[in-house]
Amino acid sequence: MNANTERTAAWKLALLGVIVWVGATLMPQPAQAEYADVVINNYADAAGMRPVVFPHWYHRIRFRCKVCHADLGFKFKAGGNKITMAKIIDGKFCGACHNGEISWSVENCGMCHSGIPGTPTHIAGSTVQQLVAPAYKALKK
Amino acid sequence: MKNTIKKITLAASLVALPFIVSAADSQGGSLMMAATTAVSSAEITGSVPEKLSVSNANVFNRLLKKEKDPNAAPPDDGYHDPANDATTALQPPKVAYEGLPTTEFGNRVDWVKALDSGKLNPRYDRQDPDVEPFVMDLDIVRPVKASVPDVVFPHKPHTQWLHCSNCHPKIFVPQRLSNQINMSAIILGQKCGVCHGKVSFPPTTKSCKKCHSKEKPANWKPPLSEASVKNPWR
């Protein structure tokens, strides 16, 4: 190989590198879930509200599981408690705390209703969802 | 002159390399697109490098997906709507986790150590911060047929967080070894998997030994499969 062809080859390679670099940086990155965040969307979408995102990590720093899952009666099932605003303002479920006394009050709609419209009820980062061959129908991220 | 060009090429490929690798890491799709871009650029300049013209199916990681940032801030996590005004008022997990003991899975926080070291003291009662949890220190050893260490179920860390009624009697009958448990059920979200794999630390290569924590005796050997023992052609 003479110096000339080697030089063109080198430039081609450099160009290629730059193109791949630009391509790779412009690529959308995969979504990053915080483990155990629960998206609740039995009714929200249908009522024109954003789905609810419940952060487990944030609450378990302040309360033990027992408070919600034994005392307040939350069942261990995403979407399984059929929570509605009527129950919340009667002091049940989220309303046992989001009442302006233990935590901020219910008029802060956007704090709870913060999900991307159309996101189905699910728990983020769960083992079943991350299996390489999904045991259930995979959720679109 | 030749040397400078070589250096530039080397530098350019070095800059590009991590991105190619990260594209392959995150999703097969990115590498496929990157490869297509590369081939078409080669077409412009007239020669198709052999290596790039192979099937796009042969990416290095066909199925491995790695999370780049397991504790992303709410606007970047993929299910919080950045267009919602309040989303930016939500706390990013990393801010709250600062100073807490870490792990390599789940929330990346060692919640058991966080309690034991006194760094966290979540309420056991909705209103009264002084109510003490009813903790029971009882270990249940579950011998495992497979070669992995036996399972020790510790009541202590569980009763620090949970109430007896969270597990008894719906998930487990409160009697030693009277519950059928196996790994597939756990991974699919039953038994221990009601919590582990959803909220408490998930089963994954780096966490197996948290549950499988009692080493087998030194002379333990895995049972042999009968079909192969009896095979006359062996």
Residues in A touching B194 (Cβ below 8 Å): 76
Query: What is the rounded average pLDDT for all residues in chain B?
Result: 84
pTM as predicted:
0.87
CATH number of A38-130: 3.90.10.10
Is the pLDDT confidence value at B26 over 70? no
Parallel, antiparallel or unpaired: strands B139-142 and B150-154: antiparallel
**Residue A73: how many other CB atoms lie within 10 Å:** 11
How distant is the Cα of A92 from the closest Cα of chain B, in angstroms?
13
Q: Which among B112, B186, B178, B109 has a CA at the least distance from the CA of B148? A: B186
Residues 93-132 of A with CB under 8 A from B: 96-97, 102, 108-111, 113-117, 119, 123-128, 130-132
Separation CA B21–CA A27 (nearest Å)? 13
Chain A interface, best mutation among B87, B91, B199, by max A CB count within 10 A: B199
* Mean pLDDT of all residues in B56-74: 88
| Nearest-by-CA chain B residue for A14 | B9
pLDDT at position B68 is 80
Residues 12-41 of A with CB under 8 A from B: 12-21, 23-25, 27, 29-37, 39
How distant is the Cα of A67 from the closest Cα of chain B, in angstroms?
6
Residues in A touching B101 (Cβ below 8 Å): none
pLDDT in tens, B33-48: 333 334 444 444 455 5
Chain A interface, best mutation among B50, B79, B94, by max A CB count within 10 A: B79
Alpha helices by DSSP H, A27-89: 56-60, 65-66, 85-89
* Mean pLDDT of all residues in B174-199: 97
Tell me the three-class secondary structure of A84-126, residue by residue. Answer: CHHHHHCCCHHHHCECCCCECCCCCHHHHCCECCCCCCEECCC
Query: What is the rounded average pLDDT for all residues in chain A?
Result: 85
pLDDT in tens, B111-153: 999 999 999 999 999 999 999 999 999 999 999 999 999 999 9
Res. B5 pLDDT band, cuts 50 70 90: very low
Residues in B touching A62 (Cβ below 8 Å): 122-123
Which superfamily, per CATH, for B97-214? Cytochrome C3 (3.90.10.10)
Whole-angstrom CA distances from B231 to B223, B225, B226, B227, B228 are 16, 10, 8, 6, 5
pLDDT at position A1 is 43
Which H/E stretch holds residue B179? none
CB contact under 8 A, B79 and A21: no
pLDDT in tens, A29-86: 445 889 999 999 999 999 999 999 999 999 999 999 999 999 999 999 999 999 999 9
Q: Are B70 and B104 in contact (CB under 8 A)?
A: no
pLDDT at position A10 is 65
Q: Which two tokens stand for residue B232?
A: 């006359």
Separation CA A24–CA B31 (nearest Å)? 8
CB contact under 8 A, B187 and A34: no
Q: Are B164 and B171 in contact (CB under 8 A)?
A: no
**Residue A41: how many other CB atoms lie within 10 Å:** 23
Chain B interface, best mutation among A18, A26, A35, by max B CB count within 10 A: A35
Separation CA B43–CA A25 (nearest Å)? 22
CB contact under 8 A, A135 and B68: no
DSSP-based three-state secondary structure for A140: coil
Work out the angle at residue A36's Cα, subtended by the Cα atoms of residues A34 and A37, and round it to the nearest 5 degrees: 65
Edge-to-edge strands of the sheet including B212-214? Answer: B139-142, B150-154, B212-214
The phi, psi pair for B21, rounded to 5°, reads -60, -45
Parallel, antiparallel or unpaired: strands B150-154 and A52-54: unpaired
Q: Where are the domains of chain B?
A: 2-58, 97-214
Q: What is the DSSP string of B98-167?
A: TTS-B-SSTTSB-HHHHHHTTS---BSSSS-TTPPP-----EEEE--SSSSPEEEEEHHHHHHHS-HHHH
| Nearest-by-CA chain A residue for B107 | A35
Q: Flag the least confident range among A97-106, A124-133, B14-23.
A: B14-23
